[in-house]
Amino acid sequence: MSRALVRLRNRNQITLPAEVVSDLGIDVGDWLEITISNSNWVQMRPARIVTADTPEARQLEHAAAENVRRKNYSTFHSPEEFDRHLDKIANAEIIELPSESLPSERRTVESVKMISSEELKQRVMLAVEAVLRDQSPIYFKQE
Amino acid sequence: MKRLLSTDPKGFDGPCGELLNRLNPRRQEIKARLHQIEGNLLGGNLEGTSEHNRWAGNRCVALIDDYVVVFNVEEYSEGGELTRHVYLLAVELEKQRH
């Protein structure tokens, strides 16, 4: 298992550590599916082309069929429109997935409260003190 | 008859974008094949497609090399007009045939 801290840079970019890339078996051009849980856990998993007739493929097709049922898809009315879509997905860096395809717990998004730097400092100090006193660290949940 | 084509963002758009990038020198070939598939399916020609997923009634058609496009076709009447709606659900890799 790999764990790492990464820093968000300009234009919302992050660099995945080489070890993580290696463990995931991904390469440049591969897609990653990002899911954020209600408790702000970010899950990132490879969204690679799956092999037909595997549980992964069946799950993907099941989700796609659900999207059809919920009318969650992109529709094209002409070959030209479809062609523009193919160019778009070939050059895309982000593909927005239908919200209904997210786990149910994500459907209700909590509002995120911004806290001041003073409040943040205070919270960090409390957490540090707790650790120094050999108590369990305090975890703050965004409100 | 009204003809509509739809794609699933996760199952089709993502993998298709990946394939177009991965096989970049063959991008035009893939696009041409996709347009051919689009034309055939919207025209109701399901020849050369095979049953892919028995429970869901999905079918698949060869795209390029061992890659296939999984799709479903629905025909319904909308406002008195017959509509053929083709859904491209996924791009998958077929198991190697020996």
The whole-number pLDDT of residue B59 equals 94
- The answer to whether A74 contacts chain B (CB < 8 Å) is yes
The whole-number pLDDT of residue B71 equals 96
- What are the beta bridge partners of residue B92? A50, B68
The whole-number pLDDT of residue A38 equals 84
Per-residue 3-state assignment (H helix, E strand, C coil) for A15-76 = CCCHHHHHHHCCCCCCCEEEEECCCCCEEEEECCCEECCCHHHHHHHHHHHHHHHCCCCEEE
Best A28, A58, A68, A81 residue to mutate vs chain B (most B CBs within 10 Å) = A68
CB B60 within 8 Å of CB B69: yes
Mean pLDDT of B53-63: 87
- What are the beta bridge partners of residue B85? B4, B74
pTM of the predicted model over 0.80: no
A121 CB neighbour count, 10 Å cutoff: 11
- The answer to whether B39 contacts chain A (CB < 8 Å) is yes
| Cβ within 8 Å, pair B95-A52 | yes
- Evaluate if residue A105 carries a pLDDT over 70: no
Q: Where are the domains of chain A?
A: 10-110, 111-143
CA distances from A70 to A64, A143, B66, B84, B98 (A): 10, 31, 30, 18, 39
- The answer to whether B34 contacts chain A (CB < 8 Å) is yes
A51 contact residues in B (CB cutoff 8 A): 92-95
Q: Residue A122 — very low, low, confident or very high, per pLDDT cuts 50/70/90?
A: confident
pLDDT tens digits along B23-57: 999 999 999 999 999 999 999 998 889 988 777 78
A103 contact residues in B (CB cutoff 8 A): none
- Evaluate if residue B60 carries a pLDDT over 60: yes
Across chain A, mean pLDDT equals 80
B34 contact residues in A (CB cutoff 8 A): 82, 86
CB A64 within 8 Å of CB B12: yes
Q: Residue A109 — very low, low, confident or very high, per pLDDT cuts 50/70/90?
A: very low
The residues, any chain, with a CB within 8 Å of residue A29's CB and separated by 6 or more, are B18, B21, B22
| CA B34 to chain CA mean position, Å | 7
A49 contact residues in B (CB cutoff 8 A): 15, 18-19, 67, 91-93
- The answer to whether A90 contacts chain B (CB < 8 Å) is yes
Among chain B residues, CA nearest to A76: B5
Beta strands in chain B (DSSP E): 2-7, 50-53, 58-64, 67-78, 81-93
- Evaluate if residue A119 carries a pLDDT over 90: no
3-state secondary structure of B42: helix
The whole-number pLDDT of residue B35 equals 96
* B51 or B62, higher pLDDT: B62
CB A72 within 8 Å of CB A100: yes
Please give the structure tokens belonging to residue B86.
């083709």
The whole-number pLDDT of residue A112 equals 46
Query: Which candidate, A63, A29, A68, places its Cα nearest to that of A46?
Result: A29
Among chain A residues, CA nearest to B85: A75
Q: Which top CATH class is B2-93?
A: alpha beta
* A114 or B47, higher pLDDT: B47
The whole-number pLDDT of residue A29 equals 78
| Cβ within 8 Å, pair A58-B10 | no
Q: Residue A135 — very low, low, confident or very high, per pLDDT cuts 50/70/90?
A: low
- Block residue for tokens 């960090």: A124
A79 contact residues in B (CB cutoff 8 A): 35, 38-39
